[in-house]
Structure 1
Amino acid sequence: MIVRSCSPIGNIIPFGLVHSMFLGFSVQLYSMLMIVLLFCLILLKYIMDEEVCWYYFKLVWKRILRRNVSVNGY
């Protein structure tokens, strides 16, 4: 007995592959945006108060680490 999928696209492109590709892309994009934000904060260090910059730097860095750990499962 042969069971076929109702969706023709499901036969060509597996959903898991598309989902993992999209998830990987979104994680890379999110990490890139956070890294750009870190560089902007480092540049703002010369303009703003140093304590304020370190607060935001630590906040963004923790968010990057938390996001990577939750996605990678470490």
Structure 2
Amino acid sequence: MLVLWLAILFAGFGLVSANNRTAIATLFVCGLSVSGAIFLIEDIAHPLEGLMQISQEPARIALAHLGQ
């Protein structure tokens, strides 16, 4: 739903804005920013896999201490 809303928003800005390099560059940079934010949200949703991963070693150490 978020991606659909953002696509409609950017399409609306693209149709209404002037056809010059500054407007096109601004829309491109904003599109990259939004897509990067969505990518990071999706990557954070799965912390043990993906581009950025957290270490499983602290959990293993804690479980080893709990098992004693």
TM-score grouping bracket, smaller chain normalisation: 0.3 to 0.5
| TM value normalised by structure 2 | 0.46
Greater share of helix: 1
1 or 2 for the larger relative contact order (CA 8 Å, sep ≥6)? 1
| TM value normalised by structure 1 | 0.44
